[in-house]
Amino acid sequence: MKLTFLGTGDMFSVEQHHNSMLAEFGGTHLVIDFPESNAKALKQYGFAMTGIHNVFISHLHEDHINGVQMLGYYAQIVGDRKPRLFIHEQLVDPLWSILSPGMRYTTDGERTLGDYYDVVPLPDGGSFELGGVTFETFRTQHVPGMVSNGLMAKPYFYYSADSTLDRERVERIAPEVQLIFHECHMHDLVIKSHTSLKDLEQLPADIKQKTVLMHYHDEYADAAARAQFNRTRGDRLRMAGTLESFELVE
């Protein structure tokens, strides 16, 4: 399995793409979240946007879904098939409420979300299979009252999406995956809806060795700044960069 970050930036990033990851495996793929910046990142990576057939949406914050309208239109006008959209069942209607003003009315009449995407609603803790890999969803603590989900594919990776640290869950699943991709805002302050570096530093050493940081602010958009951070951390809590890839084996 090849994992490539299409972006590693937070909501306010202007110097790097917003956080999203492309997983390639078993002759297929999955994109986790679809911000608008994915269009440029995919072009830079050499992956045609018409080739995007599977997308998982973790939650409905703008920096994770503001490319969903563009992808839907692009697939319909330029592509030859509707992408599949894996999303928690409670987020389907709210997502369409966000997209509807720009997508409902067309020259061919009114449209629904199902006209642009093959929607796959997932229950709490739901899973789905692609290319011989099972992806398990789990609820995360991000913003109170908001449905948000992370994603795990054993024996490959754990992906926190936007969330505070669930230490008990991370410690429980760590032996079952090769890498843990965890958000880390990197600010020297408390942000109640996100995870800090201090939070992750409290994890056991063996877990920190397989933890990769994502969704951070632009101070680390520069590769030299990330390299300096990674050198000072040794082999623990390294940072991912935009268009950086990770190769995992079964």
pLDDT of residue 126: 98
Asked if residue 69 belongs to a domain, the reply is yes
The distance in angstroms from the start CA to the end CA of the chain is: 8
Asked if residue 226 belongs to a domain, the reply is yes
Asked if residue 247 belongs to a domain, the reply is no
Asked if residue 10 belongs to a domain, the reply is yes
The 8-class DSSP code of residue 176 comes to G
pLDDT above 80 (res 235): no
8 Å CB contact between 28 and 1: no
pLDDT of residue 250: 84
8 Å CB contact between 217 and 185: yes
pLDDT of residue 88: 98
Here the CATH number for the domain that contains residue 108 is 3.60.15.10
For 90, phi then psi, to 5°, come to -80, -5
pLDDT of residue 234: 72
Where do the DSSP E strands lie in the chain?
2-7, 20-25, 28-32, 54-57, 84-88, 105-106, 109-110, 118-122, 127-130, 133-139, 149-153, 157-159, 179-183, 211-214, 238-239, 245-247
Which of 19-23, 131-135, 185-189 is least confident?
185-189
pLDDT of residue 233: 82
The model carries a pTM of: 0.97
pLDDT of residue 206: 95
Q: How far apart are alpha carbons 183 and 185 in whole angstroms?
A: 7
Asked if residue 249 belongs to a domain, the reply is no
Asked if residue 60 belongs to a domain, the reply is yes
pLDDT digits (tens, 9 = 90+) for 147-191: 999 999 999 999 999 999 999 999 999 999 999 999 999 999 999
Asked if residue 250 belongs to a domain, the reply is no
How is 24-74 classified by DSSP, letter by letter? Answer: EETTEEEEE---TTHHHHHHHHT--GGG--EEEE----HHHHTTHHHHHHH
Total domains present in the chain = 1
Q: How far apart are alpha carbons 90 and 18 in whole angstroms?
A: 24
Q: How far apart are alpha carbons 63 and 47 in whole angstroms?
A: 21
Asked if residue 190 belongs to a domain, the reply is yes
pLDDT above 90 (res 236): no
Structural domain range at position 18: 2-239
pLDDT digits (tens, 9 = 90+) for 196-222: 999 999 999 999 999 999 999 999 999
